[in-house]
Amino acid sequence: MERSRKDVWVGLFVLIGLGALVFLALQSANLLSLSFQPTYRLTANFDNIGGLKPKAAVRSAGVLVGRVAHIGFDDERFQARVELELDTRYHFPKDSSLKILTSGLLGEQYIGIEAGADDKNLASGDNVTQTQSAVVLENLISQFLYNSAAGNASGGGKGAPGAEK
């Protein structure tokens, strides 16, 4: 095949296009920091995961240490079963506890790890037993309403005889 002067321009065009793709992958989708670190898997059971989603962050002391790999339902214990992928650079004691937290007031939910004090570390495939469910806003509100209603009822009970006097 003979070469022509247009080769340069076509090559430049293809380069610009591929460069734009690479820019999108790296700068907007952050491909590099996503999945090239080796990871190990843990499982954990939660009573209620709230709005946790796959790929949600796992943080310890606010630092990203892994991601949620899979969320399923355990129909023997009737709990949510969450699989986590943690960065192999970070190790946590066996009695560490997991909490589902919310970033900001209405932000997305993530899992926080609080390190325990055990000598042994969690290894791949371990199950974390100490977990704390997500705070469900509806439960919180109904609890608050129930408490305030109970408070009013008892307050009213005391106030009513007072009013009769």
Partner 1 sequence: MSRWRPSDLGFAVRSGLADMGYAARFLARLVALFGPTMRRFSLVREQIHFLGNYSLAIIGVSGLFVGFVLALQGYNILQRYGSAEAVGLMVALSLLRELGPVVTALLFAGRAGTSLTAEIGLMKAGEQLSAMEMMAVDPIQRIIAPRFWGGAIVVPLLTAVFNAVGILGGWVVSVLMIGVDPGAFWSQMQGGVDVWADLGNGVLKSGVFGVTVTFVALLQGYVAKPTADGVARATTRTVVMASLMVLGLDFLLTAMMFSF
- Nearest distance in Å: CB 156, partner 1: 39
Tell me: does residue 10 bind partner 1 (CB under 8 A). yes
Q: Which is nearer to partner 1, 6 or 89 (CB)?
A: 6
Q: Which positions from 91 to 130 touch partner 1 by CB under 8 A, shown as an x/- string?
A: ----------------------------------------
- Nearest distance in Å: CB 105, partner 1: 10
* Cβ contacts of 110 within 8 Å, gap of 6 or more: 52, 56, 57, 58, 59, 100, 101, 102, 103
135: exposed, middle or buried (C-beta count within 10 Å: 0-12, 13-18, 19+)? middle
Are the beta carbons of 98 and 131 closer than 8 angstroms? yes
- Nearest distance in Å: CB 43, partner 1: 23
- Nearest distance in Å: CB 29, partner 1: 4
Are the beta carbons of 80 and 53 closer than 8 angstroms? no
The region of 27-35, 88-96, 131-139, 146-154 touching partner 1 under the rule CB under 8 A is: 27-35
| Contacts (CB under 8 A) with partner 1, residues 38-77 | 55
DSSP characters over 75-102: TTTTEEEEEEEEETT---BTT-EEEEEE
- Nearest distance in Å: CB 19, partner 1: 8
Q: Which is nearer to partner 1, 12 or 136 (CB)?
A: 12
* Cβ contacts of 57 within 8 Å, gap of 6 or more: 64, 66, 67, 68, 110, 111
Interface residues toward partner 1, by CB under 8 A: 1-2, 4, 6-7, 9-10, 12-14, 16-21, 23-25, 27-31, 33-34, 55
